Amino acid sequence: MRVILPIFQEFPLQTTKYLDFTCFSEAILIKLNSESFGTKKIVRISETDLIKIKNLRANMNSGRLTIDKEQLDNLTKRVYINV
């Protein structure tokens, strides 16, 4: 994950997949910040973090029913059309 995220941050996707990537990266950051990540000790992710990740997952791909203004602004800044 420490390799994939920087690549897509440097070369962002230019379609609605960008919105999926933002959800994915938020979920990864939640996991990285959890106390269980990177330790050999088995610790369950907190229920609150698990709910956040499930909500992010539900908004990916065809699960996204709406796009809020901030997401639309971010998306329109990233779409380039070469003519």
Read off the pLDDT of residues 7-46 as tens digits, 9 standing for 90 and up: 988 888 878 888 899 899 999 888 887 765 556 666 678 8
Which is more confident, 11 or 2? 11
Q: How far is residue 46's CA from residue 38's CA, in Å, rounded to a whole number?
A: 15
Which is more confident, 10 or 73? 10
State mean pLDDT over 51-69: 85
Residue 28: other Cβ atoms inside 10 A: 17
pLDDT given at position 32: 80
Mean pLDDT of the chain: 79
pLDDT given at position 42: 62
